[in-house]
Homo-oligomer: A and B are copies of this chain.
Amino acid sequence: MKRILVIGAALLLGLSAQAQQALFGGPQAESPVINPDGTVTFRYQAPKAVRVTVSGDFLPTQKMEFEMNGQKVSYEAPGVGVFREGPNGVWEYTTPNPVPPELYTYTFSVDGTSVIDPNNVYVNRDVASLTSVLLVPQEGARSDLYAIHRVPHGTVSKVWYPSATAGFDRRLTVYTPAGYEDNPKAKYPVLYVLHGIGGDEDAWVTQGRATQILDNLIARGQAKPMIVVFTNGNISEEAAPLENSTGYVRPTMSLPQTMEGTFETAFPEIVKFIDSRYRTVAKKQGRAICGLSMGGFHTLYITLNNPDLFNYSGMFSAAIGTGSEQTAAHKEIYENVDGKLATYFSKKPALLWIGIGSTDFLIQSNNDFRKKLDAAGYPYTYMETDGGHIWRNWRIYLSEFVPLLFK
């Protein structure tokens, strides 16, 4: 009787027919499972399948190549683990070694078709691809910053600002730290955080776990309470896919106006909006900016073209040297870099921070840029990590950059 009650109550109160179906369906495979020895087991039920594999960034990487500007560029792709079929058509794969604490993403391939793990509801979208998410937490490990703890939480808001440049309202994600509403006279410094190509105002929050990182660093006393603004660098778009009036389209990386100067030119209107809407420290000493890949490229040029705007700038795997400046609509944004660097450094910014992975396909252009800084004697902070052009590194860079701000 009790069981029936539980089923009766649990089952159908508030459920869509889809969920009912999932519930009434046969037993599902448990996946992923973090085993007591630290290895991870993945399972997939597919009685008729011939080959099932998992691809994820917890496996040893494999070298791949592509062509950029006529040159071969190598990069690391995630490794592959091969499943074995067990009873009842449930395929299984266990990692050979314990998986270190980290936030990972993975997909399965079933006879060549890429699918997410149907038993794992934690999913990230990256451009037009969905991936399953695996968080291996451990107290004291860096990935503990990406987990939610019982600490005071900031408020995370989706806010629309009027863009005179675009001609329509555009969406931002805004983090206000715990205590913001309880201290109505306090003013807060602002960090602007920029995504890479194909990303949007959601990317740093979903894939980057940025609001967890902020909550945890602030609660530990390792970062100042600050407002954080996650912009959308695709100036031709209003917002992330499906939050957009263009409606139901497949997300793409080939958006117009992403690396040709329009966004950089329009950036001060975002700063102006934030200073009018929030209680900010509305001066250079209270502003920081950082970004990954395309966002690192944006960060550099927004900083150089507005040398009085930001006291702290962070370039994470910055996409400099790709040649996009040469065909820019706003060429002036990318011209006279040496002169702009001289002006910028003459105003003594508190921090220029550069981070990149040792196998990132952009390391050469970043090394060239650092050589230029070194030759002129300009100060900067540099961090080189293992791995390539991946979110793991960007979460690390944000975790390292944020504690240095507004001291």
Contact = CB atoms under 8 A, between A and B. Distances in A.
Given A111-B47, A197-B13, A68 B322 contact: no
Interface in A93-109: 105-107
Given A155-B159, A198-B14, A361-B12, A20 B77 contact: yes
A250 interface: yes
Contacts of A121: 125, 128-130, 241, 250-251
A308 interface: no
Contacts of A196: 13-15
A46 B49 CA distance: 10
Interface in A365-394: 388-391
Nearest to A128: B121
A254 B256 CA distance: 47
Interface in A130-159: 130-131, 133-135, 137, 147-150, 152-153, 155-159
Nearest to A255: B10
B113 A44 contact: yes
How many identical chains are in the complex?
A: 2
A16 B207 contact: yes
A193 to B, nearest CB: 13
A157 to B, nearest CB: 4
Given A48-B49, A118-B115, A244-B148, A13 B319 contact: yes
Interface in A50-91: 50, 55, 57, 61, 64, 66-70, 73, 75-78, 89
A207 B242 CA distance: 13
Interface residues of A, number: 127
A16 B126 contact: yes
A8 interface: yes
A224 interface: no
A123 interface: yes
Given A128-B121, A251-B121, A15 B111 contact: no
Interface string A200-244: 000000010000000000000000000000000000001101111
A48 B245 CA distance: 39
Interface stretch (A290-298, A342-350, A398-406): A290-298
A45 interface: yes
A322 B19 contact: no
Contacts of A183: none
A324 interface: yes
A293 B130 contact: no
B251 A68 contact: no
A59 to B, nearest CB: 11
A154 to B, nearest CB: 8
B7 A66 contact: yes
Contact of A9 (B105, B111, B126, B324): B324
A116 B14 CA distance: 21
B158 A323 contact: no
11 contacts: A7-B66, A9-B197, A14-B319, A15-B253, A16-B131, A16-B390, A18-B107, A20-B64, A21-B77, A121-B129, A148-B238
Interface of A: 1, 4-26, 34, 44-50, 55, 57, 61, 64, 66-70, 73, 75-78, 89, 105-107, 110-116, 118-119, 121-123, 125-131, 133-135, 137, 147-150, 152-153, 155-160, 168-169, 171, 178, 181, 195-199, 207, 238-239, 241-245, 247-248, 250-251, 253-254, 259, 277, 292-295, 297, 319, 322-324, 327, 361-362, 388-391
